[in-house]
Homo-oligomer: A and B are copies of this chain.
């Protein structure tokens, strides 16, 4: 298995970015520990470590909005990954939006763009 560097954030976490494999849109960012990384590789479903629930989190197992991993990119320092995914159900965000990044900064305020 490809060894990543889980040492930089306390708790052995690294950021994982889910990006739509067709459009390039960034859908969400979550964290992985080594167990989540291993499970993602084994199952082909994006699996993170939930910092709020403190448990392994295969995205969409309860909501149905799973993320099929099409490609994985790894950065220069081996401490961040990009998952190019097919977002099942059309919503990555718990707000039911397509992406968690549904707001942009404009004149010092946040405005919704989707």
Contact = CB atoms under 8 A, between A and B. Distances in A.
A76 B102 contact: yes
Question: Interface residue tally of chain A, by bracket?
Answer: 35 or more
Given A9-B9, A41-B105, A93 B74 contact: no
Interface in A1-42: 1-2, 8-10, 15, 17, 19, 23-26, 28-29, 41
A51 B8 contact: yes
Interface string A93-109: 11101001111110011
Contacts of A108: 1-2, 41
B104 A29 contact: no
A110 to B, nearest CB: 6
